[in-house]
A and B are shown apart, each in its own frame.
Chain A
Amino acid sequence: MKILLLCIQIFLGFTTALLFVGEDLLFTLCLFVFSLVPVFGLIDLKHSFLRTDAHIMVGGILAFAAGTLKILNLVASTNFSLRVSVVSLFVLVLYGLLVAIVAKRSFK
């Protein structure tokens, strides 16, 4: 179950990152780094089922933050249009937020 969540997170993260390669290379790098968080979460799964929750949650929040700031940036520079990369960004942001909220619960 957690494996699935992590995989989706990794997939969304990397895909969105790649979609921005032409547009904004630095942002791609940024998203890439943030998407490594769930990757390490997968690696950690064997050792510790607990830390996985941490990776999911923090990975989600970071993706949410990066995505939201990028969207703000696009709007401010009037570069905003519903192209594939932007749609992917929205999906990433929503997913990141959702998954972070879900993961947070397991810490209560």
Chain B
Amino acid sequence: MAIKVALCGNPNVGKTSLFNALTGLRQYVANWAGVTVEVKEGVRKWQGKQIEIVDLPGTYTLTSFSLDEKVAREYLLYKPVDVVVVIADALNLYQGLYLLLEVVEMGVKTILAVNAIDEARKKNVELDRYELSKHLGVSVVFTSAVTGEGIEDLLNTIVKVASLPATQVRVNYSEDIEKAIDEVRQSLSQIELSEMLSRWFSLKCIENDPEIMEFVSNRGVKIDFSVFKGMGEKIARQKYDMINLILKEAVKKREKSLNVSEAIDHVLTHKYLGIPIFLALMYLAFNFAFSTVQPLTDAVEWLFTAAADLIKSTISSEMISSLLADGVLSGVGGVLSFVPNIFALFLILGVMEESGYLPRAAFVVDRIMYSLKLSGRSFMSFLLGFGCSVPAVMSTRGISDPKERLVTILSVPFISCSARLPVYLLLASIFFRDNAGTVVFGMYALSILVSISTAVFTNKILFKGEPSFLIMELPRYRFPTAKNIVLYLWNRGKHFLIKAGTIIFAASVIIWILSYFPARGDVSHSFAAYIGKAVSVIMKPFGFDWRISTALVFGVAAKEVIVSALSMFFGFSGTISFAQDLSMQISPLQAFALLVFVMAYVPCFATLGAIYSETGQKRWVVFTVFYSLLVAYLLALAVVFIGGLVL
């Protein structure tokens, strides 16, 4: 029979590292219905038993103010768990013990794992395991996820504690609070709760926890909560007092050394250097993710082209070979050619997060983002958008405020990613020659504007313009471990390949079908072309004929395709060049409108896939599609109209 274990603890205590150490590769991301908070599950066999471990989101308390806390708490309340392991940082037990007390008050079997014990030792901090255990009433294990120390001990303790009955640990409060608890428990007696839970519920009521208060009143219990004003703070205070006392007994030598971290912070959040350093680091990150990694991308593309050629030459049926080569392979190849860039970007993001730099970056730019009702954390996502919208959307996972997260997901795709650049360059060089650079720059600037406007707009519409909050811990700097980074990449990569990948693949096949039939390969008479011809009706104001419109339709799959699609239709007859042919169709003004349209309209399938996987709801994908089409159309219209007046 399996032992179910839940891991909880503050953020930044090494919970994930410990989880990795306990489960290795046998972990996967669990997705509960409608919840987009990441919960990982894994297994480990120990002493002949199957231990199922759940990594709950990091929280500071068990009150339900943030989504993370809600998820963690709901799991503990509603899912059957045999043992809860609360992980605390050896160098900062204060905070970890607060959570421990909250968990212990629920009446579950609890183990305290004091992590980073190796770091504590290095700083000459000594903890008395016996004293801690005695005063807290739970089993205590010292661990180090980095060195592996204590992992076996922890597993043994889990098995042991699972087999023993739960010990009731009670935190005693002052008289007035205990009286209040008794009063509330009386009122709650009509709800069936165990003794520990009834006490826990009472405490939460007194603390004015909104969810508990709702739960309780839904069951017809009437409690006058105004009597408890100010008691919530007292309860917290008394918990901390108790922790203080315990630590006095259990910590032999206390030495908090934030020195190295503080020193680094002095430079990285420096008044003048802070922001430039951040921008410089991001530039290096992009450079790495796009140009250094280019050989890998080229290799992948070459591989697929070679495979496509092989198929074309060996398979006799033209349709099948085209399906496989142009449809399937180009679809799969399309997905996989993203991979080196995305992995590289996530590598950078992972290092920044593991080392502790990411919160500092958010800290430094927060002020700027505040006016957009966002926080510094989403700045990173917007920046990533310049490279590729896919990791940009996926990076929003780290944003804790769900409102901000959604707004960022919807706004980021407007930022001009690297895939649009070839289109910009092509059109700009043909129609604007010497001013090409300025035009391209203008596109980027415009895209930023649209993105920001979308952020403000969606925030107003969806959330009545409520600003997001930023309260975050700046953890100690630490050297990222290879193992953690690898696991991080593995999780992210798998996520992308499975979720976004299937959509891209399906879409590529559909595009193939549309372009191959009914004329068996003659694109000018394919379904896609029919669609293009239909679309060109509304494109009349811009002078986009069916060829450009069809290219735009293809561009929905991936923006780079626009260039190759255009080259299929223009200038291939050999008598005139591509540039000449195209300039015969549209004027420079219309070309500008085309650029604007390309900038704003529907994000590529991969991005749509990422949006779906990050929001979990189809409606946002639909919203993005229609909203972006609308914006693109209106902007292009404005260009043609204003241009027509001015010129």
Contacts and interface: CB of A to CB of B under 8 A. Distances in A.
In the complex, is A directly touching B at CB under 8 Å? Answer: yes
Interface of A: 26-27, 29-30, 33-34, 36-37, 40, 50-51, 53-55, 57-59, 62, 65-66, 69, 72-73, 76-77, 104, 107
Interface string B259-288: 110011011101011001101110110011
B172 interface: no
Contacts of A104: 260
B260 A107 contact: yes
Contacts of B276: 33, 36
A55 B277 CA distance: 13
A2 to B, nearest CB: 14
Given A54-B264, A73-B288, A40 B293 contact: no
B260 A69 contact: no
A37 B276 CA distance: 11
A6 to B, nearest CB: 13
B288 A69 contact: yes
A30 B283 contact: yes
Nearest to B279: A33
A87 B259 CA distance: 35
Given A54-B266, A107-B263, A77 B280 contact: no
B292 A51 contact: no
A29 B276 CA distance: 10
Contact of B292 (A40, A50, A66, A69): A69
Contacts of B283: 26, 30
B-side binding surface: helix, strand, loop or mixed?
helix
A18 to B, nearest CB: 16
Interface size class of B (residues with CB under 8 A): 20 to 34
Nearest to A73: B292
Given A58-B267, A107-B260, A69 B284 contact: yes
B267 A65 contact: no
Nearest to A30: B280
Contacts of A69: 284, 287-288, 292
Q: With a 10 A CB-CB cut-off, give which of B267, B277, B287, B294 has the most chain A CB atoms.
A: B267
Contacts of A50: 263
A91 to B, nearest CB: 19
A93 B263 CA distance: 21
B294 A55 contact: no
Contacts of A27: 287
A107 to B, nearest CB: 5
26 contacts: A27-B287, A29-B280, A30-B280, A33-B273, A33-B276, A33-B277, A34-B280, A36-B273, A37-B273, A40-B272, A51-B263, A54-B264, A55-B267, A57-B264, A58-B264, A58-B267, A69-B284, A69-B287, A73-B288, A73-B291, A73-B292, A76-B292, A77-B292, A77-B294, A104-B260, A107-B259
B148 interface: no
B550 to A, nearest CB: 35
A54 B267 contact: yes
Contacts of A37: 267, 273, 277
A54 B259 CA distance: 10
What 5 pairs across the A-B complex have the smallest Cβ distances?
A54-B263, A58-B267, A30-B280, A76-B292, A73-B292
B480 interface: no
A37 B274 CA distance: 10
B268 A33 contact: no
Contacts of B288: 69, 72-73
B280 A33 contact: yes
A65 B288 CA distance: 11
A77 B287 CA distance: 12
A34 B277 contact: yes
B442 interface: no
A107 B123 CA distance: 12
Given A33-B273, A40-B272, A66-B284, A77 B267 contact: no
A26 B288 CA distance: 13
B291 A76 contact: yes
B437 interface: no
Contacts of B279: 33
A76 B266 contact: no
Contact of B268 (A58, A65, A77, A107): A58
Interface in B284-340: 284, 287-288, 291-295
A9 to B, nearest CB: 13
A62 B277 contact: yes
Given A73-B288, A73-B291, A107-B263, 14 more contacts: A26-B283, A27-B287, A30-B280, A34-B277, A36-B276, A40-B272, A51-B263, A54-B263, A54-B267, A58-B264, A66-B280, A72-B288, A76-B294, A77-B292
